[in-house]
Amino acid sequence: MAQARIIDGRATAERLRADLAVEVARLKSEHGLTPGLAVILVGDDGASQVYVRSKGEQSRAAGMHSVTHILPAGTSQTELLALVRHLNGDPAIHGILVQLPLPAGLDEKAIIQAIDPDKDVDGLHVINAGRLSQGVPCLAPCTPVGCMILLRETLGQDLSGKRAVVIGRSVLVGRPVAQLLLQADCTVTIAHSRTRDLASVCREADILVAAAGRAQMVKADWLKPGVTVIDVGTNPVPFRDPVKAAAGRTRLVGDVDYKAALDVAHAITPVPGGVGPMTVACLLVNTVMAAKRIAGLKA
Ligand code: NAP
């Protein structure tokens, strides 16, 4: 069997951003509408700062209005809620994202539920989760949206009848990606930490989405020949090089034994360079969609 096709998330994300820039320019010139994204970061977590900077840079590069609110770690629940409510009412803002995790002492769930569901571009509000489960238009979480774009690019628009197995049932990834696969008329199994004989469940899959956060857990003999694998997992592991490992440096691997899977799968996303780059691109997709819906335009 030929080696699996490597699904290049970086290239797809780049194309998506280029298409969005064209769409943003059209919205500005035809409708006087500039999609606006507000990102809120509380505290000084290094990784979160990098993500937030990237979100700001990418939205500006696409021609969008972008605002970043950086609040001190000691910000109270009341202060954060007040900012969210202010942004809910700001007509220049169509998407609000609160960078997670929040520092201890802040009630993440309450903050997310305070966001106007029509501006909830992270798709985490219960209203959007409910709309997604009912199959009605909504803002779906960005990583699952990215997974679906990669799948359709690889397998074509029609995924109907395919057997899909999702490993993971989190609100952020597993559940919403399963809902999106169901909407695409796949036959969907959701596996989790209590699933018995996960290997045989996985062997049924034409499409396998791995989102467990367990380094290289899925082995090649868990895969049906010809399966398409979307590996969402991002797991830091020590470098093989003992000098780098001794220095505490880590590299990222997915949930799937990538090298071995290359001999069995039809196509697979690498880690890094697969799903990861799609997540921010899909945040921009969601922001443009939110802006159009709020403005009463066809999204
Ligand atoms: P999470 O909230 O920890 O959920 C993990 C899910 O996997 C849970 O449902 C858990 O089952 C299940 N699970 C854990 N161990 C398992 C096992 N041994 N067998 C079967 N199922 C198992 O994680 P998450 O937020 O969904 O993220 C999952 C992974 O995706 C992480 O590596 C994360 O870093 C990565 N991620 C990547 C991106 C990206 O942009 N690339 C975005 C988001 C997340 P239970 O429910 O039974 O506990």
Q: What is the pLDDT of residues 13-28, one digit of tens each?
A: 999 999 999 999 999 9
Quick check: is 163 in a domain?
A: yes
Rounded to the nearest angstrom, the distance between the alpha carbon of 166 and the centre of ligand 1 is 10
Residues 260, 185 share a domain: yes
Q: How many angstroms separate the first and last alpha carbons of the chain?
A: 42
Quick check: is 173 in a domain?
A: yes
pLDDT recorded at residue 240:
86
Residues 196, 160 share a domain: yes
pLDDT recorded at residue 204:
98
Residues 150, 100 share a domain: no
pLDDT recorded at residue 299:
87
Quick check: is 284 in a domain?
A: no
Residues 108, 66 share a domain: yes
**pLDDT < 50: residue spans in the chain:** none
Residues 188, 151 share a domain: yes
Q: 81 vs 55, 85, 106, 139, 174, CA distance in Å? A: 21, 6, 10, 21, 28
Nearest CA to ligand 1 atom 1: 170
Other Cβ atoms closer than 10 A to 66: 22
Residue pair 229/210 in contact (Cβ under 8 Å)? The answer is yes
Binding-site residues, ligand 1, Cβ < 6 A? 143, 167-170, 172-174, 191-195, 198, 211-214, 217, 232-235, 275-276, 279
Residues 88, 189 share a domain: no
The overall pTM is greater than 0.75? yes
- 179 is annotated as an active-site residue: no
The enclosing domain of 47 has a CATH number of 3.40.50.10860
Quick check: is 91 in a domain?
A: yes
pLDDT recorded at residue 25:
98
Quick check: is 223 in a domain?
A: yes
Q: Give me the number of domains the chain comprises.
A: 2
Catalytic residue among 116, 120, 122, 231: 122
Catalogue the long-range contacts made by 124-133 (C-beta closer than 8 Å, 24 or more residues apart): 124/171, 124/172, 129/171, 129/175, 129/176, 132/176, 132/179, 132/180, 133/179
